[in-house]
Chain A
Amino acid sequence: TQLLEQSPQFLSIQEGENLTVYCNSSSVFSSLQWYRQEPGEGPVLLVTVVTGGEVKKLKRLTFQFGDARKDSSLHITAAQPGDTGLYLCAGPGGAGGTSYGKLTFGQGTILTVHP
């Protein structure tokens, strides 16, 4: 069974602080994706990391894929209230059988940035 463990589950910080969200697995993933979801809306794809050791930057967000492709992190610099939301990591596949069209999601990290 491929599981993704996210930590922390909740994060409440002040505007301007930095933070890191972790996504870990005992399984190797061919790629990992990060999504951000606002209440009542669908997840929005932020980035896909594919190569072990890869680092991608999206403005104040930095995404890293572990060398062994079993873990990933999301670092936000100088967080802003607009960063508030649910952050989800996801990887293709799951328990046994085919992985067609299936993403396995972490439990998510609820981030609240206070002004």
Chain B
Amino acid sequence: KAGVTQTPRYLIKTRGQQVTLSCSPISGHRSVSWYQQTPGQGLQFLFEYFSETQRNKGNFPGRFSGRQFSNSRSEMNVSTLELGDSALYLCASSLGGTSAEAFFGQGTRLTVV
């Protein structure tokens, strides 16, 4: 059974640009959550999608957005990049029911210069 796939693995962008990250969840999983991980803040929750609907959102500015497609694949977009957006962005998939078990992808390392 394939795991969670995130693309690309690495990205270098310039301040002010925008970026789109992709996540393919485990087959059969309908919930996709996104996290930002930095050395100072640890893992911070961005948002969660289930059946193409955003059900939950963390405390991040509106520059961070996402969506989910009918096949459960998800994308997140960051517009007007800032240096502080440099981080490891992680996607986690789960069944979306009462179980909290989440399975993470390898992440996308975003560097903003």
Contact = CB atoms under 8 A, between A and B. Distances in A.
A7 interface: no
A103 B90 contact: no
Contacts of A92: 100
A107 B41 CA distance: 8
A101 B43 contact: no
B107 A41 contact: yes
- Among B35, B96, B100, B103, the one with the most A-chain Cβ atoms within 10 Å of its Cβ is B100
Given A30-B100, A48-B101, A92-B100, A108 B58 contact: no
A102 B4 contact: no
B100 A31 contact: yes
Contacts, number: 78
Contacts of A107: 42
Interface of B: 4, 6, 31-33, 35, 42-43, 45, 48-50, 55-56, 58, 88, 90, 92, 94, 96, 99-107, 109
A44 B104 contact: yes
For the residues of A in contact with B, the DSSP-based class is: loop
Interface of A: 30-31, 33, 35, 40-45, 48, 88, 90-92, 94, 97-108
A100 B45 contact: no
A31 B35 CA distance: 20
B103 A103 contact: no
B55 A100 contact: yes
24 contacts: A31-B100, A33-B101, A42-B90, A43-B43, A44-B104, A45-B101, A45-B102, A48-B100, A88-B43, A90-B102, A92-B100, A98-B55, A99-B56, A100-B55, A100-B96, A101-B50, A101-B92, A101-B102, A102-B58, A103-B92, A103-B102, A105-B42, A105-B43, A106-B42
